[in-house]
Amino acid sequence: MANSDEPDLDELFELLEHMPVPDGYKVEIVEGTVFMTPQRDTHWQTIRRIIRAVEDRFGMDVNVLSDVRIDFPGHRNGFAPDVALLSRGARKDGLGRWRARDVEFVAEVISRGTAHNDYGPKMNAYAQAGVPVYVVADPYLRRCRVFTRPQGREYKQDCTVEYGEPVDLTGTVVGLVLETKDFPVEPGRTAKQDAEQDAPQQDEGPEREPQQAAQEEKPQEEKPREEKPRGENG
């Protein structure tokens, strides 16, 4: 049962409006927690390419949004999807907000600090709202995850498409092919490579410490054996 003292979504967003949120940060509320994420160049360039593909398919008058608040099912979920395509007959509610039930397609671009949201509570909320197609673009792993056939709080179909290969959505309500060959990637090592590099460092630490301790204790154990004969001869 929700705590009556907890601020609702409107109150939380009103508080955020009076906070010094840095320029270039995306702000959304996921299960009552506020997340502020810096928008990297790679992030925005990917969003632009997805929006352009949608506009090429449906025309410039298509109702596609980016970083606009939409409230989704669940406990205090006020998301700002990177890309949200609304149905042709979508209408705002009495408060002037777009409704989750009119969203036909969502795309999110992974950020290191909030990837768990995109694959966790946000994905669950999109499925629960009945969003037919949900795409996650990952510039670190250089791949897209495509989720379709929402049922309950999960998607029944999930496929992975590597960057460079087309994401074929022609069999969905979106009805387009999303080209990924020009999707920007994050420079340097991938998130997977970072994890692999960190793993041995965590294992080596505990192994070195006992060896160092043994070396420090060894001369301390030998001292009594050396001093004993000196005392007897004196």
Whether 110 contacts 118, CB under 8 Å: yes
Alpha helix positions (H), the chain: 9-17, 41-58, 115-119, 121-128, 191-233
Whether 176 contacts 59, CB under 8 Å: no
CA atoms of 166 and 179, how far apart (whole Å): 5
pLDDT at 193: 53
CA atoms of 87 and 138, how far apart (whole Å): 26
Angle of CA points 168, 173, 175, to nearest 5°: 40
pLDDT at 3: 57
Whether 79 contacts 69, CB under 8 Å: yes
- The neighbouring-strand residues paired with 106 are 84, 134
Which domains, and CATH codes, for the chain? 9-178 (3.90.1570.10), 189-234 (no CATH)
Strands 103-109 and 133-138: parallel
| Backbone angle region of 6, left / alpha / beta, with phi > 0 → left and psi within -120 to 50 → alpha | beta
Q: What share of the chain is helix, strand, coil (3-state, %, to 5)?
A: 40, 25, 35
CA atoms of 73 and 89, how far apart (whole Å): 21
Residue among 44, 50, 63 nearest 178 (CA) = 50
Reduce the DSSP state of residue 75 to 3 states and report it: coil
Question: In tens digits, what is the pLDDT along the chain, a chain of 234 residues?
Answer: 455 577 887 788 878 877 777 778 888 989 988 998 888 899 999 999 999 999 999 999 999 999 999 999 998 999 999 999 999 999 999 999 999 999 999 999 998 888 999 999 999 999 999 999 999 999 999 999 999 999 999 999 999 999 999 999 999 999 999 999 999 998 754 444 544 444 444 444 444 444 444 444 444 444 444 444 444 444
pLDDT at 147: 98
